[in-house]
Structure 1
Amino acid sequence: MTSDLLRQFQWVGGHADLWPVFRDGDTFREVIKALVEPFRAAGVTAVCGIESRGFLLGGAAATELGVGFVAVRKGTGMFPGEKLSRETAPDYRGFRHTLRIQRASLAPGDRLLLVDDWIETGSQALAVKELLQEAGAELAGCAVVVDQLRADVRPAIGRLHALVDKEELPED
């Protein structure tokens, strides 16, 4: 599976492009299975994903696990009902984001798996973890396609599963 994923990956103008993974049905299916495999017996009650690639990966992962999906929106777009929100620490570009979850989508005791394409600073994952805790839920772990997380942040995130490390990616 890793070789198929790496074959689909490309750099475009210095930016990582994982979109071809979504276009190849076989690779996409294998990526989803590999992301959720370590969490099948973790008591996950829902999967959450951060806008936008996290919506695609997270929705597919939720389907694979047979659980629901909880959207984590960025910014101020339409999102009805009461929301919980957190501002992230600066990301790899120095930007802060406001992340929001619909309060009604979480229940005390929920165990959520956060699925995303890439983790670098961990700022978004930590903000999601705080949002879940505020609602009485917990983060069962994070599953990402590419891991670039610094070692000093890793303990705060908790259980992290990645399909490839950034150093395994082809050169830009």
Structure 2
Amino acid sequence: MTDPVTAAAVDRAREAIDRKIRLVPDFPEPGIAFKDLTPVLADPEGLAAIVAALADFCRGADLIAGLDARGFLLGGAVAAELGVGVVAVRKGGKLPPPVIGIDYELEYGRARLEVPAEGLDLRGKRIAVTDDVLATGGTAVAAGALLRDAGAQVHSIAVIMELAGMPGRSVVRDGLGADVPVRTVCEG
């Protein structure tokens, strides 16, 4: 059963997305309809609705992890809403050493994610991972694996939009386990 507070927050966020999302045909390539959430996040009511929904999804986490780069916006706002800290999970090469990092495969190549190895003790912390979109799931799984390598427990994956027809949810389940819930505001 869905919590009524969460259901109301998700309904408000979905309404804001429906009002403000920008659809861009043939981007990044012909046949793709890009769903731009920028206008939703720029709208104060839309941003507040999305942050409230994601915060409800992340309730119970000790820290919120925001994925480079749009996840930084969401992670910071969700952490502030919940009164917890935020961890920036950075793209490789953006942090001074030492770092804890993980290399992973993308549909178009390889990438790396990193967190500081010093000055930030993640051991035993329950961390919710936030981002804007879940598509193939590779970045979410890599972030979860990185946080586990740092000694944390992955509380959940919380995103605004899960792209329809993409394997993200099953990739996260296979890569992080069925005990890590994937929570999304809407499907697009």
| Partner residue, 1:63 | 80
Out of 12, 17, 22, the residue aligned to residue 10 of structure 1 is 22
Moved over 4 A (4+): none
Cα contact 2:135–2:162 (8 A) shared by 1 = yes
Query: How many equivalent residue pairs?
Result: 161
Cα contact 1:106–1:132 (8 A) shared by 2 = no
Cα contact 2:125–2:153 (8 A) shared by 1 = yes
- Deviation of 1:69 after TM superposition, in Å, equals 0.7
Cα contact 2:140–2:172 (8 A) shared by 1 = no
**In structure 1, how many angstroms separate the alpha carbons of the residues matched to 2:75 and 2:157?**
11
Letter in 1 for 2:19: R
TM alignment of 1:145-160, pairs within 5 A: 145-148=160-163, 149-150=166-167, 152-156=170-174, 157=176, 158-160=180-182
**In structure 2, how many angstroms separate the alpha carbons of the residues matched to 1:3 and 1:96?**
36
| Partner residue, 1:38 | 57
Tell me, what secondary structure is at the counterpart of 2:110? coil
**In structure 2, how many angstroms separate the alpha carbons of the residues matched to 1:75 and 1:132?**
15
- Deviation of 1:154 after TM superposition, in Å, equals 4.1
TM-score by length of 2: 0.79
- Deviation of 1:121 after TM superposition, in Å, equals 1.0
Out of 158, 161, 166, the residue aligned to residue 183 of structure 2 is 161
TM alignment of 1:14-163, pairs within 5 A: 14=27, 15-40=34-59, 42=60, 44-77=61-94, 79-91=95-107, 94-103=108-117, 104-148=119-163, 149-150=166-167, 152-156=170-174, 157=176, 158-163=180-185
Q: Per-residue CA shift, 1:30-65, capped at 9, x if unaligned?
A: 10000121332x3x1110111111000111011011
**In structure 1, how many angstroms separate the alpha carbons of the residues matched to 2:18 and 2:131?**
17
Distance change (3 Å), C-alpha of 1:8 and 1:123:
same
TM-score by length of 1: 0.86
Cα contact 2:63–2:85 (8 A) shared by 1 = yes
Seq. identity, %: 31
**In structure 2, how many angstroms separate the alpha carbons of the residues matched to 1:139 and 1:10?**
32
* Superposition CA RMSD, Å: 1.6
- Deviation of 1:152 after TM superposition, in Å, equals 3.3
